[in-house]
């Protein structure tokens, strides 16, 4: 993000919030978003978060979630300048500790009980079934751009998954179905001295809540259905719907959740590669990640 644009965006937010210039400290900066801590002359602080498409509607999701009773940081102000969203957020400070599985289950129960919001995009059974086909469309665009030329194995895997998607997508609307955080990891759950808050709602949607539960342990390690089953049982014990344990698509709930979550991630990686990042230099890393996830999808969805 250009320094001048970043400064203009912050100036807009400070004007809206009626605040003066603040000292800025980078917390995390990525090519598509960034987070800074602002310290004002009176000693108070706020978080300045900025992001471009497709992360440019997080302010709406956070406000919706807060209105519906989900514990999230307050949005003090938001503005869009030249396609970049800027937000001034409540500063929750340093976490008291890292979130554990019990925290994650508790937060998921609260989120998944929240009534759905019409403003959120929807991933229903048809949308889930279409994921491998959408990924194939992204691959076609990449190849037209003379990229991903040596990825026939990726195409073969996606075709196999697409053929099995009709049967394996059965049960998409089985509870929990509603709010999906979509970046549901321990780092997105802030445990403070006075309770917890969910962060990072940039890609929230309405869909199968099992995708959140499948994402909690991350995607760097080999998917572990036994570990997820324990987490699902914890979720039910903490008040989540018992239907979370119901088999769907001819699979156990945990295999279904892990398999479709990895397929969702594959489609997202490939869309990033051709649309949002669109940098051939990143292709080797994206291809490696996609291959790894597709191997998992073929195994978990048994296609």
Cβ contacts of 4 within 8 Å, gap of 6 or more = none
In this structure, the answer to whether residues 109 and 192 fall within a common structural domain is yes
How crowded is residue 115: how many other Cβ atoms within 10 Å of its Cβ? 8
- My answer on whether 38 and 123 are in the same domain is no
Residues 201, 138 share a domain: yes
Q: Do 27 and 113 fall within a single domain?
A: no
Please identify which residue in the block is written with the tokens 């994650």.
104
- Looking at residue 31, its pLDDT comes to 82
CA distance 52 to 31: 9
Contacts for 52 with CB less than 8 Å, ≥ 6 apart:
1, 32, 33, 83, 84, 85
Name the residue among 103, 115, 114 with its Cα closest to residue 238: 103
Q: Same domain, yes or no, for 191 and 235?
A: yes
Retrieve residue 215's tokens. Answer: 């994402």
**107 plus 48 within the same structural domain:** no
Residues 121 and 249 reside in one and the same domain = yes
The answer to whether residue 94 sits within a structural domain is no
Are 111 and 76 found together in one domain? no
Tokens of 241: 């719907």
Domain contains 96: no
190: CATH:
3.90.1200.10
| Digit-coded pLDDT (tens) for 203-213 | 999 999 999 99
Q: Which residue has the tokens 């499948």?
A: 214
177 and 270 housed in the same domain: yes
**Would you say the C-alpha torsion 261, 138, 117, 174 has a positive or negative sign?**
negative
pLDDT at residue 45, as a whole number: 96
One domain for residues 7 and 32: yes
The span from the CA of 287 to the CA of 272, in Å, is: 12
> Can you list the residues of the chain whose pLDDT is less than 70?
none
Q: Is 95 part of any domain? A: no
CATH code of the domain containing 15:
3.30.200.20
Task: List Cβ neighbours of 117 (8 Å cut-off, separation of 6 or more).
Answer: 64, 68, 179, 206
Q: What is the pLDDT of residue 5?
A: 87
């Amino acid at each position: 993000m250009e320094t001048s644009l970043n400064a203009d965006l912050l100036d807009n937010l400070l004007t809206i919030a009626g605040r003066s210039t603040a000292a800025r400290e980078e917390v995390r900066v990525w090519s598509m978003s960034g987070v800074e801590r602002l310290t004002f002359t009176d000693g108070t602080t706020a978080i300045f978060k900025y992001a471009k498409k497709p992360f440019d509607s997080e302010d709406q999701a956070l406000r919706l979630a807060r209105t519906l009773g989900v514990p999230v940081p307050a949005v003090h102000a938001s503005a869009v300048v030249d396609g970049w969203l800027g937000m001034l957020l409540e500063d929750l400070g340093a976490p008291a500790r890292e979130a554990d599985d019990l925290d994650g289950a508790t937060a998921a129960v609260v989120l998944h009980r929240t009534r759905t919001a019409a403003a959120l995009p929807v991933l229903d059974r048809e949308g889930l079934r279409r994921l491998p086909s959408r990924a194939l469309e992204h691959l076609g665009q990449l190849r037209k751009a003379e990229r991903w030329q040596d990825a026939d194995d990726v195409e073969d895997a996606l075709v196999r998954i697409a053929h099995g998607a009709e049967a394996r997508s059965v049960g998409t609307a089985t509870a929990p179905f509603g709010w999906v955080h979509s970046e549901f990891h321990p780092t997105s759950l802030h445990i403070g001295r006075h309770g917890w808050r969910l962060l990072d709602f940039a890609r929230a949607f309405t869909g199968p809540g099992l995708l959140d539960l499948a994402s909690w342990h991350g995607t760097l390690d080999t998917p572990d259905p036994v570990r997820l089953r324990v987490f699902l049982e914890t979720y039910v014990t903490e008040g989540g719907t018992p239907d979370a344990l119901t088999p769907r698509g001819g699979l156990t709930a945990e295999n279904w959740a892990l398999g479709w979550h990895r397929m969702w991630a594959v489609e997202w990686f490939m869309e990033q590669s051709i649309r949002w990042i669109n940098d051939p230099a990143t292709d080797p890393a994206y291809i490696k990640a996609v291959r790894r996830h597709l191997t998992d999808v073929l195994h978990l969805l048994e296609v």
